[in-house]
Amino acid sequence: MAEMFIGGEFVRAEGERFPVVDPATEEVVDTVPLAGPEEVDLAVRNAHEAFQSWSATPAARRGDILLRAAQHVHHHLEELAHSLTREQGKPLRESRLEIRRFVETLVHYAGLGRNLRGGYVPNLDEGTYGLVLKRPMGVVAAIVPWNFPTTLLGNKLGPALVAGNTVVAKPAETTPLTALRIAQLLREGGLPAGVFNVITGIGPVAGEALVRHPLVRKVAFTGSTEVGKRIMALAAGGVKRVTLELGGSDPMIVCDDADLDAAAGAASVGRFFNCGQACVAVKRLYVFESVAEQFLEKLLARVRRLRVGPGLEEGVHLGPLHMQRQRERIEQQVQDALDRGARLLAGGRRPEEPRLQRGFFYEPTVLLDPDPHSRVAQEEVFGPVLPVWRVHDLEEALERANDSPYGLGSSIWTRSLERASLAAERLEAGYTWVNSVNRIYDELPFGGVKQSGFGKEHGLEALDYYMETKSVVVRALEGGSG
């Protein structure tokens, strides 16, 4: 049985436990404790105690420690990838990519440890100058969802630790196992005890206790917009800093001068990677009517080659959806689109193969021209369903792309610099890709607008969200000693 990782060791907890289920087989992989306020308090107090020495460690030294710890994690890549596939469901190839990305993010921020600096402002007044100090906040709560449970943890862990904070993480109750093992490996790799702690449990109990805890100074959350609003409300009571990466319904625009082969490939990857369970994914596609037939032919050829199956099988492109209720929601959204007149071009059902009757599998699905008021147009579609609309021109595409409460990612495919520039300026999103697949870079700030959240992860900008800025005024006194 798995246990929580607090103060540098696994801590046995009494009481109720939660089953971790393999989405491909519906078998119980392991069980974890359901933390309550007492366990949360223990983890936060351990992190608070560790903060005193960790924050006093020179930033470059913190970076060196994090680098060695991350490298130790990388040595266990295969073990971690198998664990991730068992609890989350994604193909083993994607799990390997995710563990590598986790390590790469930690390494990236470890390298920035030597570049943390404040500022100097001369001549504020006669004989007076100013200093701008950057200081760590304290204990950070990192609340992570089930779709990318390690990379989204790394997005918070890297900048938080290098900036001098300590972290208490709460992974989703359905995907805690890989995070627990990573915490152990980071400790083995040299991260001091208490600097990184992992509790397990459900959001309304463990998550809310963590956000409310008076010693938690910053909350970093990735998840649904609905839960993000709840966290904002809870954090407001303690005037805590908050970073929110919330839901998205990313539009992709394919113009009549696009490289249609490349665009079709990007749409397939951008929609069906991780079985479509990504905040940053192609969820609404707008293609110019003059090239729609040609583009759809190329897209459907790729979709039909996607192989659905258990993530541990070689050659699988789509694993199962993560939970039964996730699949049921997808089925309801698809049926609503069909009832409102959408044309089904591919998928739209559970696989018929006998070996896939257990597990939460669903075929990659493409819908053409759903009603603008249908659920696939208005809601976030968190699964392997791609709605496609034909549009007359870029103006119509941009108008419809922005007709959403979300604003996380967006993309456009065109050979025209003018069109690309116009889209970059007008698309209401925190990230826009031009002729590129939806890949997030550690070097660039990432975050949404509108109801997709606020604050930045990645880039140098992420560090600002894990540090306090303090101004100091220094005046030289006459006759002072040297």
Q: Which residues are catalytic?
A: 245, 279
Q: What are phi and psi of 369, to 5 degrees?
A: 50, 55
At 38 the three-state DSSP class reads helix
Query: Residue type for 8, please?
Result: G
First to last CA, the chain: 63
CA atoms of 72 and 190, how far apart (whole Å): 9
If we measure between CA atoms, which residue out of 229, 251, 242, 233 comes closest to residue 406? 251
- Whether residue 323 contacts residue 383, with contact meaning beta carbons closer than 8 Å, is answered with no
The structure tokens listed for 174 are 């359905």
Residue 138, token pair as written in the block: 């304290």
Give the 3-state secondary structure of the chain.
Answer: CCCEEECCEEECCCCCEEEEECCCCCCEEEEEECCCHHHHHHHHHHHHHHHHHHHHCCHHHHHHHHHHHHHHHHCCHHHHHHHHHHHHCCCHHHHHHHHHHHHHHHHHHHHHHHHCCCEEEEEEECCEEEEEEEEECCEEEEEECCCCCCHHHHHHHHHHHHCCCEEEEEECCCCCHHHHHHHHHHHHCCCCCCCEEECCCCHHHHHHHHHHCCCEEEEEEECCHHHHHHHHHHHHCCCCEEEEECCCCEEEEECCCCCHHHHHHHHHHHHHHHHHCCCCCEEEEEEEHHHHHHHHHHHHHHHHCCCECCCCCCCCCECCCCCHHHHHHHHHHHHHHHHCCCEEEECCCCCCCHHHCCCCCCCCEEEECCCCCCHHHHCCCCCCEEEEEEECCHHHHHHHHCCCCEECEEEEECCCHHHHHHHHHHCCCCEEEECCCCCCCCCCCECCEECCEECCECCCHHHHCCEEEEEEEEECCCCCCC
Contact of 268 with 436, CB cutoff 8 Å: no
